[in-house]
Each structure stands twice: as C-alpha cells, then as structure tokens.
Structure 1
Amino acid sequence: MPSEPTRLAGMRPITVGLIEKCLARPGGQSWGSPLVVALGARGTGKTALLREISDRCADVPHAQVDFEKEDWGNIEPRELLGHLAFELSRHWRQFGRIAFPRLWLCMLVVGSPVEIGDRRLALRKLREVLAQNQPLEQNREAVVDVVRLAGGIGGQSTPGWPEATDLLLRGLSWYDRRRLLGKIKGLPASSGSREDFLIEIARWAQGDEDDRSAADATFCDAFLADLRRAYSGVNRARRTLNAAVLLDNTHTPGGQAFLRVLAEARRRAGPEHDPLAVFATSRGWNPDWNESWHPPTASGVDEPERRRPSTERTNGLSWPRPRTASDVDDDWAGPAPAHGRWWPWYLIELGTLSQDDTVDLAVVHDIHPTSRLPGFVHRLTDGHPGATTEVLDLIARTYDRSNPTSLRSVFHLEFPRLREYLLQDFPASSREDLITASAAQDVEILFHREILSLQMPAGEGALFKTLSDNLWLCAEPGEGRYALHPLLRRVLLGELAAREDDHDLNWDRVHTLCRDFYERNGRAVSARYHDLALGNVADAVGHLRKPFDGELDVRQAQAWLAELDQITAAPNRLDKTAEPYDQVQAHAGQWADELDSTLAWLLVSLWLARDPLGDPGGTLDSTIESSFHHLAQGRGRGSMLLHERAERYR
C-alpha cells in the first residue's frame, strides 16, 4: 500500500503559516477562524499533514479523531463532542484545565436513566442522578465543575437546578434560547420550567431525526459556550493560543455530520467567536460546501493549467475552487486574518507534487537531484504523493543504475499493492466497468452505452459520481472534459491489458468499439488514438501525412502538433522487457515512401516515450529529435515549430 509521504514537500505554507494564523489570538480575542479542510484522494498526504499539524500543536490544548478508526465513522455529533471535551479538558502546562460544565450537564441528562414519558418520574430520576453524582466518576475530574457551578447540588432537594439550567441557557444566544424553549410544548411558567428543559434534551436525544438534530445543536452550543468562557476572565492572560481539534477522514457520515453541526453552531453564534481552530481532512466532496465552494472537478476546465485555482461566478457571487498550498500565503497575507471571504470553510486541495517537490523527496532517498530519476518518478505517478514516496523508496533499494530499462520493474513490483489500495473505494460491481472505461481519453465514454455495456445497476451516473466524490477526476485544460487521474488510469489500463482474449471486453474489443464510435461521429483524431492503442500504425500515419502534401504555415503546424500529441498519448500493452529501439523497429515497419517511414518512426517513438515505462532511459530522444528535423525540411514557415519541438529532445 502506498505510504504517506515521509516528508511533506511543498506544505510549509500550511504547516507553518496557516496553523499560526488559525491558532493566533490577535489582541487576546477570538476572531472566528474558518474550518480548514484538506481534500485529496487516497494517498495524497492528508494524514501526514494532520500528523505534522498535531506535532506543532503539542503544547496547545488539542484533540484528534480519525473517523475511519475506533468505529467513529457513524458517531453521533453529541457523542463526539464529549470525546473532544475529555481530551481538551486534560491539564495543559501553560493553559491549565479547560472546564466544560454546560456540556457535562447535557451529558449527565442524556446519559441518565430518565423516563421521558412520565414527567413526574423523570424529575425524580434527574434529581437522583444529580444527588448521587454517579455519572461524574465516568466523566473525569472536569465534570465536577457541574456541581460547583450549579450551586452545590446535594441531598434530595433541588437547590442548584435553576442555576444549573441557567448556566446552560446562558451559553446559548438569544435566538437559540427562544428556539429551544419554544420546542417544549405547553411549558409551564413555574420554576419547574427549567427542569422541563433538561428533560426535553433527554427526549430529543431519543427522538426522531429532527429531535436528535436539536439535541446535537444544544450539545454543540454548550461546547462552544464553555470554550468561550474558558478563554475569558482570569484565564484570558495565560491562554494565548486557541485550542485545536484535528479531524481525519471527515468524508465519513459521522465526519460530515459533525462538521455540519459545528458550522451551523458558529453561524448561530454570529459575532460571538469561539477560540477553536479546526483542521480536518476529507477523501470526498461534502455537499455542504456547495453553498460557497466549487468542487475541484466543477471549474477550471478552460484554464491553461489544469490545477490552477480559479473562481466561477454564480448568482452574482464568486465561488472559489479549493485552494492549493501555494495559494495560502497570499490568501492569508496582511496583519489581520483574511478569513471573511472563506468563512465558514477554507478548503485546500492536496494531491499533486510539482517536479521540484519530487526532486526534494528524491534527495531524501539519496537520489541525485540532477539525474533522470526524479523526472521519471514524477511522470509515472503524476505527482501522487503516496505513490511517489513508495516508488522512490523502491528505486533507492533496487535500482541498477547501469541498466535504466530496469526501472520498468519498479512499477510492476508496486502494481499489485497499488491496485488494491487505489481501487478499494470502488465496490466490486463497479470495478469491471471502471476498467473498461479506462480505455478512453476521458470519462465521456461512461455516457455512451453503444460503446460500453455497463454492469452497474445504477448506471453510468453513479460511477461518474463515485469518481467525482472520491476526487479521482481531473478537469482537462481547454477541452471542457473530465479525465481519470493519470495514476488511477494507469492502474486500470494494466487491468484491461491483463484481460484474457476470450473476455467480451478485452483490450482489442474495447479499443475497437471506441475507435468505431469516434469514426462514426467524425472525430478522426480520437479514432486514430484508439487505432494506435490497437497497434494500427498505418492508419495513424495516413492521417498525420495529409498536411505534408504541401508547405505548412504556422497555423497548420500548430494544429498538426496538437493532433500528434493527442494520438501518441494512446496507451499501449507492448512488451516491457524489450529494448525501446527494438520495439520501434518492430512496430514502425518498412515503408517504401521516405516521408511515411519518417512519420512512422516518429509516431512509434513518441508513443513509447510518452509512456513513462516505455523508455525510462530516454534512449529514443535522438530518434525523435532527428525525425522532427527531417520532417521540417522544406516545409515552409511552419517548419520553425517542428524544429522547436525537436530541440526538446536534444
């Protein structure tokens, strides 16, 4: 399984600058930091990032939860609030112990054996719970604050009941006090009304979905009110940094529910900011973000750089897509925290290491930064952090520098683990469809049943949504289309190539269906793409030869190079044990016409070279360079672009 990156390349703006901003208390005041969420597919460094943040928060009151461990995935928000409060209420050297009296009161009431169907019996049971203090022993020492702040409840009498309930209600805004008290039907005007309010909390916790949501909201309001109180008064001077909550894998139902409850509680609080910095990670898109953010795959398709952050205007508002680590410093520049336009969320997209980041990681593995190896790894993994770390580790342990072709074995050694790791988010019923769909350049193929016979009962829309929600789609620049993440597609293509000849949708059958579909629809370049995947070099050469019947102007040369790039991006299932030059010689074939021969050699050489495993040592570069120069001779003004392209392979 790909490991989390051993070093967080390029993450310093987050692990230093952003954390300091969110923990800071300008003028000793809470300022309302947003809920920071790092997004990324599997293996993109989310857990490693949270681990680094945890290290930096070591001396600050903090609590951490992984929603994919310890059965937290479906936890109720109020239960999780109790866990977080337990952790935050530990004794911290500078900050002391944070008390949560309002929250503990809610927990005492909900956790007590209250008969919610009989008011008189319920009141007696609540009095017994508070008198005996039985749950207090289970809730650590901080729960004693309930007794102290409630006025010293004891015996069978009820002094302290009004104080205890008032303490809770004072933690809520005027709107919430009115909202919650209004939910109690026929509330009497006597002093017993406060007791009825506590009974109502217990009833909500056992009620329908709306009632349970009301209980969660009350718990969260109490939690934040306790935090605000803890950072005021005599404690204000020593509590110089906000408390922190670190939440891993919040794409789970429990994680999404908790973030929703917390965000809504902050909205209700309005200008009453809380001293809490929240850092979360997610492997999927949360629908709650649609109000003010666009998913990574919902904008930016017409940008010159595929992953450059952008905004779209909808209903007169500018909604950004998730930011990147390189955006953080600018977003948060200035003396005051620049949180207004992001609030209540600040989303950061992880998942792509730059070539420089890959070089930095290679150095950690004792790989020379100027060698070809970092570039090979970056192309092979498309900058996927976990896979990059794993491949670099394998190279450091197994690579024979005297034989560059041996780099091919690195991927094959890692392939089985990588396949299971990346595909575990997809149910078995959809894997076969996903493997078949990987043949096409983009996921448009999912919506053409004349090409594919999808096995998923829910149809192509469900598979597209699964890919999108799990952040495995990339918006292609200038094409207005979405494609699979290159690393995931490489794994899926390996599965497609491994299908037996008698499989109804084997490699040849799928690519033939795709080619014929694009041919019928007048998309010749896409058809030639699939021809090349089938090893049909002749038809691809025939298409690319047409502009060379005369001179090329600049526009024609640009269009021809674009078509060449698209066609030679075709996948292959060539023998990875053969030498690259021998592969070119075998597949380019013999041609009577010199132009056809040059085009065939260039086409096949580029086809192999664009596959990171096709020619990892770059042995075909000289062939590609000379072929471009040869084609450019006597071709008019457009030849300049061919000569320029040749220089890339010098």
Structure 2
Amino acid sequence: MTLYGRSAVLNTVVPSLVGLDSNGPRRLRIPDGTPLLLVCGGGRGSGKSALLKALSEQYAQRVPQAYADLAADRFGQPGLARPADGEAPRNASHTSDLLFYLMDGLSQKPSEFAGKLSFPRLVQGLLAITSWEPVRPAELPAARHRLGELQRAGQPDQQARNERVLGWIDEVAGALPAVGGMPPGVEEMVRALLRIVATELLGPRANKEGLKWWGARRVGRQGDGLARLTELAMTFRGEAEDREHAERHLLAALLADIADHYGWLNTMNRVPRPLLLLDNAHTPTGAAFLDELARVWHEEAAGERALRPAVVATALSQDPPVPDPEDTSPSTRSAPGAFWRADGPASPAGWLAHLPLAPLTLDEVKEMFGEDRPAPRTAQVIHRISAGRAGIVHDLVQAARLHPRLHDGASAVDPLDLLALPAGPESATTVNEKILATQLPGEVARRRLTYYSPALDNEAVHRLGAAYPPGDPGGVPVLEAEAELRDGRWGRHPWPGTGGPFVGDPVLRALLLHELTALTRRTPDAEQWKNLHLRLRSFYDPHGRGTAAERPDVRFLHHSLALGEQESVVHALHRRFAEQDAPGWLAALNLVCAAPRPPRTLPPPAAFTAACRACAVDDDPVHRAVRLLVSALWAQSQPLAAPQQDATGTVRLQLLTLAMAQSGAPAAQKVFYRAHEEWPTLLGHWRQAPHLPTYGESAP
C-alpha cells in the first residue's frame, strides 16, 4: 500500500491505532484484533523524521508517548550521555538502554490523560540485569528526581522520600568492588535491590503483581519471581543468543505493563493508547529492536481485548521512480481497518505494515508556497528536481520564497538558477549545498561522489578513482563510494541501453553535478570540469583518435558535449545517421543529449573547423537539422529546464526533416516520423533525454 502525501497517516491511519481523533477529543472505535507495527519507509529527504515530529506534536499532552532516534547514540536526546566506547558492558545492551529511555518517556503523564503509566514488570527486569553497574540511560529518572527535590524543598517529607528512592543507586554502586564476576551472592543482591526499588517506586501491590508475572515466565528452569529475575540477569550476561532471549522477556514486560495499566474496562471505554515513535529503524540497532518487538508481538498472547501500544517506525528505503510532474491527483486514503489483524499471521514479519512515503504531488508542492506567487513553472521544476521528496521540496520552496519579488508580487527567480539560491537570509551557503549536506552527511563521501557523478558506468569510476578526487584521504575511495550509495538506499534507475550512470538516483546525480560546476567556479583550478570530462571520455577512445574515429563511442560524444564541443558531436552524429538504424540513432541522440551543461565560467572550446564527411553538399539540410536538434534537445534535457515552446517546436521540425531524408528507407522514415509526432508532446510534459522513446532495439 502507498500513501501520497502525509495527511492519511496523520489523520486516518495513526488515529485509528491510537484511538483518538487527530485534532479533537473524540475517541475513535478501536477495531477488533491487534494493531500492526507501522513502518513508514522512504529515501533521504522524504520527510520520515518530519512525520514523526508531526505525530509527536499532534498527540502532545494527549496520550503517553516516547520518541527515539535509533540512528543516534543518544536516541535523539541531546542531554543524555553517550554510550561507553569499546566493548558493550555486560549489564547493558542497546535494547535495554532503549527500554530505559522509552519507559521514562511513557511514564510522563500528559495533562489530558487520566492516570500515569507505571512499569513494575519492566522495572524489575531492567534493575535485575543492571544491578551491579550503573547504566547511564537508567540515570535519567534519577536526574529528574533530583530536580524534583529542588522544586519541593519546602516539603521535607516528600524530599526525604525522594532521597530514599535514590539511595538504592548508591547502595548498589557501593557493592560493586566486593562483587566482581558472577558470585553466588548475586541472587541476594538482586533480591535486596528489588525489595528497595519495589517498595519505593512501585508500591506493595505492583511489587507483588510484577513478581507474580515474572514467576510465570519461562526464564529459568524453576523458582519464584525473584529466582526467575536472577536467571534473567545471568542469561543477559551470556552469549548473543542468550542476551536476545533475555531482551525479549523485557519487551514482553513492557507490553504486559501497558496492557495491565489499561485493563479490560479502560480498553472497553476506548481510552487512547500510548504512542511509540521510532525513527531510523533501518539501522542495525533499529532493525534488531524492531525484529525483537515483532517477535514478541507475535509470540505473546494478547488476551481478549488486551491493549497494545501504537507503534510508528520509520526506515530508510529506496524511493520509487521519479513521479509524473503533471500528476495532480489528491492524496489517497487508506481504510483504518487495514492496519489491524483479527487473526494471527504465520510469522512475526506479518505484524509489520510497510508503508512507503510516496512523493509529494505537484499540487502539494504548490501548496507549500502559501500565498506567495512563484515564477512560472518554478513549482514544476522543484517537483522534478526533488522527485517530490518532502525535505528537498521544503528547502527549495523556502529558498525561492526568499528571492526578491517583482513589482506585482511574483517571484523573479529563474528556475535554471534555483539550486544556486541562498539557503537562507544572508546565508553564504547555497540551497544545493544545504540539501547535499543533508542527503550525504559525510564530507569525504560527498566530495568523492561529486567527482564521480559524471561517470556513466562503474568501470569508468574505478579508472577515474586513481586520480580523483584530488587530495583524497585514501583507502578504497570507489568501493567506499559504492557502499555509501548502497547503505543510503539510493535507487538505481539505469538509463535505457546502459547499465549506468554510476550515481543512478536522478535527484542525487543532479545535485552532485550542480555541486561539481560550483566547485569548478570556487577553486583556483577553473578547468576541473574540463579535465575531468577529458579523462572520462578518454576511457572510450582507446586509440586516441577522438571524433576522427570512424564511429566514436556514444559515451565519448556524451562527455564531448559536456565539454561544450557541440559541433564535433554534430559531425559524429551526422555520420552515424547515414550508417545506423533509426532506433539506434535515436538512442545515441538520447544518451548524448543527456550530457550536463558545462559551467558558464568554463572557456569555450576551440572552433571545430573540420569538414563533415557525411555532408553531400554545402549547408547540408540533414547536417543543419542534426545541429538544431542537438542544440534544442540538449537545452531541454537539463534537470532545471522547463519546457520551452520554441525548443520543442525546433525538435518537431528537425525530426520531420530527418524523416523526409529517409525517403528510401520506409521503416526508418516511420520511426523518425513517429518521433516527430510524439517527442515534442513528451518534452512538453517534462520528459527529457535519455528517457525519450526510440521505437525499437538500440543498436550499439
């Protein structure tokens, strides 16, 4: 299932999981069954984190909630200490640290919510495994209690109680030097610890019910709740598989505490569910936690109408292909019942509902301008260059809105200059630099991919990597760049007839190529672009004959056009026109005219004065048609170019000229005539080279 935009997630799907209207106090009917774990996927800049932020704000002070960034070593909480470097401590894991953090968030009572969640089972389990060392995430509740002591200094009895509550930490810490290893006395220490904490934090009833629950768990071979908790602590310190087993018991305790707090009556009365927001669940930490949670979700008996929390996770995934720039269809909506299961799926994976965050539509891009009037077709250019990715759209729209207005209030920005606009008021950073820093946070990877972005295939990049980028820190640059693209879930959308380009995501490639032109302008070596493309095209010219070769490689011509050598390219294409089948020639034209424009500051190449070997007469009409066709199609195939009627008209006329020149070859004439009919329309609908149809198999 796919949702366009975000309104369906915010206003339909998640409210059905939480049981509360997105904006008002109305409680929603909870569907029968068990909710699914919602995993919203998308590429970088698709708005995944923004979606979780919007959900957090939507339900702030309305339901208990906890947010964690599973890609951050502080879970996205700046004030939390970093994990210890080196080998993980034996009494903590990413999962246990995360559970401490989530429990702390869920235990904060919202102002509009009746009752405060408590977690006796989870507290008992976590304290059992952390009993012989302090764990930084576990100190977060203690820090909050210390702050409370200062606020309640005028209440001696309450202050004294808080001090006693915190005393267990000192008691356990003081026992550390005498403990060490796995002594027989660990069980006594766990018992003492639980006795102190249960009395002060949970109360007698919670202590009793929690121990009863642990007593029923199959943690050890036999024993009561305290014996099971001791076994849990020992299992947690075992091998990786043993630790995962213990972690699943802790996750089960979390779910059991939530279900027990609500009970049958609150569930029947539609008391809204707590909300867990998990960002970056694709990371190793996130994937492991989500897999364990899904397994517990699957294996634990939910009981009749036993309540489960609403869980919304986000994960980095490959974006779908670039959307149709003229698609103005409204956001689709999905039935709430689709995210609930009345029966149990066959495996834990069946509880995960993967929901791609599809690209924004053109209408949604236009809505982001608000009352501002963008320059003509600016919204369409933003939609195409961003592929509808919400984060990129936002940055581009804001940059365009900051641009000076004309006297009638409309923006004067030229879409061709969109990526060069300042990222903010009085900012020295361009919007392209800002977007790239978000999409590729690593400076080394960003610089490498900037230099590799013009390459049309992997082999060319491996050969290029011997000299570029200049000043690289070393290692295996190309392999590391490939890993960056793979780990970043950057899609590969090969060009027709090729396996490339190396940077296969069209959005990322356009941003990197723009950065390469800007880099050429910023650095002392103003001919970096020229030297780079000269080296790249040399890979396709093994005999060093250049355009004098009988049939230059199309990739050689692609890089030649990127150098501004338009006339030599026209000569080569004219020769191909006389020798190559029509579909193959159109495929070559597609690949050649997909070449990027050279920087405006690059000096023009030397005049090409050689005679065209394919011209039958002076001012040959076919040669002239090829020249005009290349010029118009190349101009219309730049990422920031909007369709221009005069350019599309030129394409139409020149393709008709080439069709007429094929009078002796009916099959070829039909191909060129069909292109003459369809290409201008496709160009007017924002299609560009190399993705124009060729009506047959491409010849080499």
Indicate the residue corresponding to 1:280 in structure 2: 313
2:455 matched residue in structure 1: 440
1:317 aligned residue: none
Q: 1:13 aligns with which of 8, 17, 20?
A: 8
Q: Which letter does structure 2 place at the counterpart of 1:419?
A: E
- 1:55-86 Cα offsets, whole Å, 9 max, x none, are 44443332222343226786722232233223
Q: CA deviation at 1:222?
A: 1.0
Residue segments in structure 2 that go unaligned for 5+ positions in a row: 21-27, 84-92, 132-171, 325-329, 423-428, 544-550, 612-617, 663-668, 685-700
> Is the CA contact 2:455–2:461 (under 8 Å) kept in the aligned structure 1?
no
Equivalent residues of 1:21, 1:337 under 8 A apart = no
SS in structure 2 at match of 1:473: coil
The question of 1:575 aligning with 2:621 is answered no
The 3-state SS of whatever aligns with 1:19 is helix
Partners of 1:544 and 1:416 in 2: CA distance: 37
Instruction: Please list, as runs of the form range in 1=range in 2, the aligned pairs for 1:194-233 lying within 5 A after superposition.
Output: 194-205=225-236, 209-233=240-264
Alignment of 1:390-539 (within 5 A): 390-399=395-404, 406-414=414-422, 416-419=430-433, 421-423=435-437, 425=440, 427-441=442-456, 445-446=460-461, 457-458=475-476, 460-476=478-494, 481=499, 483-497=503-517, 498-499=519-520, 506-518=528-540, 524-539=553-568
Deviation at 1:631, TM superposition (A): 3.9
TM-score by length of 2: 0.68
Please state whether the residue corresponding to 1:217 is helix, strand or coil.
Answer: helix
- In structure 2, how many angstroms separate the alpha carbons of the residues matched to 1:335 and 1:267? 13
1:86 corresponding residue in structure 2: 104
User: Compared with structure 1, are the counterparts of its residues 504 and 430 closer, same or farther at alpha carbon in structure 2 (3 Å cutoff)?
Assistant: farther
Q: Is the 8 A contact 1:64 1:246 kept in 2?
A: yes
Residues 110 and 205 of structure 1 are in contact (CA less than 8 Å); yes or no, is this contact kept in structure 2?
Answer: yes
- Structure 2 distance, partners of 1:457, 1:463, is 11
- Deviation readout 1:290-320 (Å, 9 max, x if unpaired): xxxxxx38xx9xxxx6679xxxxxxxxxxxx
User: What residue is the counterpart of 1:160 in the other structure?
Assistant: none
What SS is found at the alignment partner of 1:97?
Answer: coil
SS at match of 1:611: coil
Aligned positions of 1:126-525 closer than 5 A: 126-133=190-197, 143-145=201-203, 147-151=204-208, 164-170=210-216, 172=217, 177=218, 180-182=219-221, 194-205=225-236, 209-269=240-300, 275-283=308-316, 296=318, 329=334, 343-350=350-357, 352-362=359-369, 364-367=370-373, 371-399=376-404, 406-414=414-422, 416-419=430-433, 421-423=435-437, 425=440, 427-441=442-456, 445-446=460-461, 457-458=475-476, 460-476=478-494, 481=499, 483-497=503-517, 498-499=519-520, 506-518=528-540, 524-525=553-554
- The question of whether the paired residues in 2 share the 8 Å contact of 1:220 and 1:262 is answered with yes
After TM superposition, give the deviation of residue 223 of structure 1 in Å.
0.8
The CA deviation at 1:45 is 1.1
C-alpha contact 2:40 2:313 (8 A) present in aligned 1: yes
Equivalent residues of 1:106, 1:219 under 8 A apart: yes
Distance 1:118 1:642, change over 3 A: closer
Which of 634, 637, 645 in structure 1 is aligned with 2:670?
A: 637
Check the 8 A contact 1:44/1:350 in 2, yes or no: yes
Q: Partner amino acid for 2:276?
A: V
User: The residue matched to 1:531 in structure 2 has which SS?
Assistant: helix
Q: Give the Cα–Cα distance (whole angstroms) in 1 for the partners of residues 115 and 608 of structure 2.
A: 73
For 1:24 and 1:444, the matched residues in 2 are separated by: 54
CA 1:436–1:574 in 2, change beyond 3 Å: closer, same or farther? Answer: closer
Aligned AA (2:10): T
**Helix, strand or coil: the match of 2:312?**
strand
Q: What is the CA deviation profile of residues 244-267 of structure 1, one whole-angstrom value per residue up to 9, with x for unaligned ones?
A: 201223345543443233223224
Question: 1:24: how far off?
Answer: 5.4
In structure 2, give the amino acid aligned to 1:196: A
Amino acid at match of 2:436: L
Give the drift of 1:571. 0.8
Contact kept in structure 1, 2:67 and 2:276, CA below 8 Å: yes
Task: Please point out which of 593, 600, 621 is paired with 1:594.
Answer: 621
SS in 2 for 1:247: strand
- Relative to structure 1, the CA distance from residue 473 to residue 125 in structure 2 (aligned partners, 3 Å threshold; closer, same or farther) is same
User: Aligned-pair distance for 1:475?
Assistant: 2.9
Deviations 1:157-187 (A, max 9, x none): xxxxxx65332243x4xxxx1xx315xxxxx
* Alpha-carbon shift at residue 200 of structure 1 (Å): 3.1
**What is the CA–CA distance in structure 2 between the aligned matches of 1:332 and 1:546, rounded to whole Å?**
63
Residue 334 of structure 1: how far off its partner (Å): 10
Give the letter for the 1:43 counterpart.
G
User: Relative to structure 1, is the Cα distance of residues 28 and 327 closer, same or farther in structure 2, using a 3 angstrom cutoff?
Assistant: closer
- Shift of residue 464, structure 1, vs aligned partner: 1.6
Match of 1:40 in 2: 42
Counterpart AA for 2:561: L
Native 8 Å contact 2:401 2:411 kept in 1: no
Question: Cα deviation per residue 1:370-411 (whole Å; 9 max; x = unaligned)?
Answer: x42212222333333222222222223315569967444432
Secondary structure in structure 2 of the residue aligned to 1:474: coil
DSSP 3-state at the match of 1:329: coil
Matches of 2:234 and 2:108, distance apart in 1: 30
* Residue in structure 2 matched with residue 316 of structure 1 by the alignment: none
- Is the Cα–Cα contact under 8 Å of residues 39 and 350 in structure 1 kept in the other structure? yes
**TM-score, normalised relative to structure 1:** 0.73
Q: Alignment partner of 1:236: what SS?
A: helix
> What are the superposed Cα offsets for residues 528-559 of structure 1, whole Å, 9 maximum, x if unpaired?
22221122223432343356549x9xxx5554
* % same residue: 23
Could you tell me how far 1:568 is from its partner in structure 2? 0.9
Query: How far has the Cα of 1:215 moved from its partner?
Result: 3.6
Q: How far apart are residue 643 of structure 1 and its match?
A: 3.4
Change (3 A) 1:118 1:426: closer
Distance 1:79 1:569, change over 3 A: same
- 3-state secondary structure, aligned to 1:346: strand
Query: How large is the Cα RMSD of the aligned pairs?
Result: 4.6
Specify the SS of the correspondent of 1:181.
coil
* CA distance in 1: counterparts of 2:456 and 2:31, whole angstroms: 53
Alpha carbons 2:122, 2:254 under 8 Å: kept: yes
- Over 3 Å counting, the alpha-carbon distance change for 1:106 and 1:403 in structure 2 is closer
**Correspondence list, 1:554-573, <5 A:** 557-573=582-598
The one-letter code of the counterpart of 1:101 is P
Q: CA deviation at 1:511?
A: 2.3
**Are the structure 2 counterparts of residues 30 and 255 from structure 1 closer, same or farther at C-alpha, using a change threshold of 3 Å?**
farther
Amino acid aligned to 1:488: L
Q: 1:339 to 1:376 in 2, by over 3 A?
A: farther
How many residue pairs match? The answer is 567
Residue identity in the other structure for 1:80: L
Partners of 1:443 and 1:17 lie apart in 2 by: 44
What secondary structure, in the 3-state scheme, does the structure 1 residue paired with 2:35 have?
Answer: coil
Aligned amino acid, residue 492 of structure 1 = L
Distance 1:335 1:202 in 2: 35
CA contact (8 A) 1:625 1:649 kept: no
> 2:650, 2:496 → 1: CA distance?
30
Shift in Å at residue 493 of structure 1? 1.9
Task: Assess, with a 3 A threshold, how the Cα gap between structure 1 residues 589 and 386 changes in structure 2: closer, same or farther.
Answer: farther
Counterpart amino acid of 2:364?
D
Name the structure 2 match of 1:186.
none
Deviation at 1:23, TM superposition (A): 3.5
Q: In structure 2, do the counterparts of structure 1 residues 200 and 421 end up closer, same or farther at CA, with 3 Å as the change threshold?
A: farther
The 8 Å contact of residues 129 and 236 in structure 2, kept in 1 or not, is answered as: yes
Q: Call closer, same or farther: CA 1:610–1:338 in 2, change over 3 Å.
A: farther
